[in-house]
Amino acid sequence: MSSVVLSLSPAKVNLALSVSPPTQAGMHEIASWMVTTAFADELEVKRLPADRPSRFSIDWHEDARRRTDIDWPIRKDLAVRAHALLEQKLGGALPIQLRLRKRIPVGGGLGGGSSNAAAMLRALDALFDLRLRAEYLEAISRELGSDVPFLVRGGSALVEGTGERLTRVAMPIVHLVLVFPSVACPTGPVYHAFDRLRPDARLDAPRVRGLVDAGDLGAFRADMPFNDLADAACEVAPALCELRARAERIAQSPVHVSGSGSTLFIVCDSPIHAEALAGAIEMQCGVPAIATVTAPTPLEEVDGEPRAIGAPATLSDDED
């Protein structure tokens, strides 16, 4: 078995997000076009001797642009919970040492915690040579959160239901600026605001699929992304609305909200355009902004060599 895995944990962006009214169970179904980006956290996972307890370290990467207190109990962290979940499913200990170095802002609508959980599952699969199918990891990861199944493989997908229905679609090359406000948009209050603001809301999956088709044809434009939660996020955090308006004046282009906020994003024509715009927004608005691009989830580095998930499963079908 391998001794160390480096697993990159990419941020996701919702290029389109349609949301249903709450169901009788109080859940909201979605139709969303999600893509992963080159902006990522880093997990270094080392295998420990079988008689050693696992240990975990979480801190900010030295180049992280928006830092907040890491003040949650370690056992509540999604990467740590993913480790515990796979131990439970396999019925045995997987002793590791984790060092998680975060770049993705906490609670920014970029799926940072969910991506950390997905990266942990991939890292454990590689580290212990489990040879689990990606489909199996996606299935069990539903217990960790609605974004985690998509982020197991990342890339580009139409995500429906409560995250359990994934349709892989072509990855468009989209240059982006991500803007990191200092305000928070807690998911629960944003959905409550959405219910008040949009009592007549309906799920518009055809509109989302239309954007996917436009991206596949190379006709994706800066004004095409949409997000049913954008107005609700601005109501929860009015400063977000003000920043969005300022950024639009600088960009001379629509500025969009990812997920339930608070990260804003702008579609750019080229990497040069994205770099210049990120610098202008940072200078004039006084908030961190970075240039990035849509990208597939990188391969794990296992003892310095790349390795993909998805090898033939060692579990029987009825264990899925």
| Nearest partner of 14 among 130, 218, 187, judged by Cα | 187
Kindly report the CATH number that applies to the domain delimited by 175-293: 3.30.70.890
Contact (CB, 8 A) for 104 and 115: yes
- The fold of the 4-169 domain, in CATH, is Ribosomal Protein S5; domain 2 (3.30.230)
HSE of 318, CA atoms in CB hemisphere, 13 A: 0
| Nearest partner of 108 among 258, 216, 246, 281, judged by Cα | 258
| Nearest partner of 10 among 297, 288, 204, 269, judged by Cα | 297
> What single-letter amino acid sits at 170?
A
The torsion angle over the Cα atoms of residues 300, 303, 307 and 312, rounded to 10 degrees, is: -120
pLDDT tens series, the chain, 320 aa:
779 999 999 999 999 999 999 987 888 999 999 999 999 999 999 999 999 999 999 999 999 999 999 999 999 999 999 999 999 999 999 999 999 999 999 989 999 999 999 999 999 999 999 999 999 999 999 999 999 999 999 999 999 999 999 999 999 999 999 999 999 898 999 999 999 999 999 999 999 999 999 877 677 789 999 999 999 999 999 999 999 999 999 999 999 999 999 999 999 999 999 999 999 999 999 999 999 999 999 888 998 888 887 544 333 334 43
Domain ranges of the chain: 4-169, 175-293
Q: For 259, left (φ over 0), alpha (ψ -120 to 50), or beta?
A: left
Helix/strand/coil for 42: strand
| Nearest partner of 102 among 126, 145, 70, 124, judged by Cα | 70
Which active-site residues does the annotation give?
A: 12, 147
Cross-strand pairs, 97: 46, 55
